[in-house]
Amino acid sequence: MPSRNIIKVYVENGYYHIYNRGVEKRTIFEDEQDYRTFLKYLKESLSSPSNLKTKTKTFSVRGVTFDATPRQVKNFDKKIDLMVYCLMPNHFHLLIKQKGHKDIGEFMQSLSTRYSMYFNKKYKRIGKLFQGSYKAILITTDDYLLHLSRYVHLNPTEFTKDIENAYSSYAEYVGKRKTSWVKTKEIWSYFNKASIDFKKRGNTYRDFVEKYQTDIESTLGKLTLEE
């Protein structure tokens, strides 16, 4: 993958398309457990601490056994809003709003490191899992934001017609599932604005994603995973 979008422009309260894939385009989600583990890490990082259960574990050091709380994962509930996500066999997409100008860097380092350690341990491998640093595109217009969400949610059509049950946030947007750490309100709000052109072709987010006909590349440009 070329080094496009590695140089990142960070701004406070900025919206970003974050993506990365496996080194040499290798698979990074081999089975259902892998997908669920990545989602678990997202949940732990982005949920309000009050919604997370703190579990104690039994430890033994030099013959002494005791119960203690494991080191807690760094929490980004007040720093990052995850609006859209999609996990594919060899890559992932996240649509994120960061509050501070350095929040995405810290969040992605934590997420990528945790998942790489899990994956390498499970499959008894060493070395980098992802193809370089994550890529980040600053989103500067409403139109771009909306069409990007559509593009990300349509990614699974490469493998399935049942995009509601793909490993993505689409189920949250069509009312099939509620997840506190997926922030749908902002994108949903656009569908109450009669001035948006695509409203003429459908009144719901589902209509926009599944029925609206447009050339995605003409709207978004070649922002996707480059060859």
**Do residues 30 and 61 touch, judged by C-beta distance below 8 A?**
no
CA atoms of 171 and 176, how far apart (whole Å)? 5
Q: What is the residue whose two structure tokens read 């089975």?
A: 31
**Do residues 151 and 85 touch, judged by C-beta distance below 8 A?**
no
Q: What is the CATH number of the domain that holds 89?
A: 3.30.70.1290
* List of E strands, 7-149: 15-21, 57-61, 64-68, 80-88, 91-98, 135-139
SS3 call for 1:
coil
Specify if 198 maps to a domain. yes
Specify if 59 maps to a domain. no
Q: 75, 91, 78: which is closest to 38 by C-alpha?
A: 91
Specify if 79 maps to a domain. yes
Specify if 7 maps to a domain. no
As a whole number, the mean pLDDT across the chain is: 86
The whole-number average pLDDT for the span 206-211 is 89
pLDDT (tens digit, 9 = 90+) per residue, 39-97? 999 999 999 887 656 565 565 666 766 554 555 688 999 999 999 999 999 999 999 99
CA atoms of 107 and 45, how far apart (whole Å)? 8
SS3 call for 6:
coil
SS3 call for 109:
helix
The whole-number average pLDDT for the span 199-227 is 68
Q: What is the residue whose two structure tokens read 């009050």?
A: 50
Specify if 227 maps to a domain. no
pLDDT at 222 over 70: no
Specify if 206 maps to a domain. yes
Specify if 54 maps to a domain. no
Query: From residue 189, how far is each of 2, 21, 119, 142, 204 by CA, in Å?
Result: 36, 31, 37, 11, 11
Domains in the chain, number = 1
Confidence of residue 227 (pLDDT cuts 50, 70, 90): very low
pTM for this entry: 0.85
The residue segments making up the domain with residue 189 are 15-49+72-220
Specify if 116 maps to a domain. yes
The whole-number average pLDDT for the span 143-155 is 94
Tokens of 2: 């070329």
Confidence of residue 212 (pLDDT cuts 50, 70, 90): confident
Q: Which phi and psi angles does 88 have, rounded to 5°?
A: -115, 165
pLDDT at 128 over 70: yes
